[in-house]
A and B are shown apart, each in its own frame.
Chain A
Amino acid sequence: MEPFQVASFMTAGVLIVTGLWALLMMDNILKKIIGANLIGDGANLVLISIGYRPGGFIPEVMHHFHATATPSNYSHLLQFEEFASNASYSLPFALVLTNIVIGASTLSVMLALAVVLYKKYHTLSVQKMFEGDE
């Protein structure tokens, strides 16, 4: 139970809750978009903290990965035993890289929509923009 990993999970929780509150409760449209950014950051931090191996919280899945290296064309990696037992599990990194890019593109579309809505309504307040809808 590595304390740094537990602290990262808690920070990620704070980020997600803060982002969710901003996304749903704030009146300014740009604050909602900042909230969306924070939710994405929190989810990425959860993903990376899960793979933190040195004494980590959910580590035991790939516990003795370096000892087996079963496919025979990977057997040349058996010499890196010290690295393999101290490095983090690297599969979540690929997921996070993809997710950062997805988040950035979604955010840019939302910002463009916010600019267009401002041009029509001349206000940044969501209350005034969506007031006639059921």
Chain B
Amino acid sequence: MMFDYILLFAVALSALMAIIQENLYKSIIILTFESFSLAAIFHFLLATDVAAVQAILGAALLPGLFIVALYKTTKGRDE
């Protein structure tokens, strides 16, 4: 019963923490957690198909792209 409210609070808090973080790798990991919690929230709002799509795109594809972009933009690592 309380679990969904905890998840809502986790989404809001991790969104704030993701943009305050200095280290960008940590920021992307917090963003992954936020997207996954958002997918769980979608399930609790009775939208399970949307939760599946959000979990795939928001927690697997987009952080992958972010990490590739971050890798290519840190000093001394561009080919």
Contact = CB atoms under 8 A, between A and B. Distances in A.
B45 A88 contact: yes
Given A48-B50, A115-B72, A34 B18 contact: yes
Interface string B49-76: 1100110011001100110111011010
Chain A's interface size range is: 35 or more
A14 interface: yes
Interface string B4-35: 11001101100110110000100110010011
Given A18-B16, A49-B45, A44 B54 contact: yes
B42 to A, nearest CB: 6
A26 B19 contact: yes
A45 B38 contact: yes
B45 A15 contact: no
Interface of B: 4-5, 8-9, 11-12, 15-16, 18-19, 24, 27-28, 31, 34-35, 38, 41-42, 44-47, 49-50, 53-54, 57-58, 61-62, 65-66, 68-70, 72-73, 75, 78
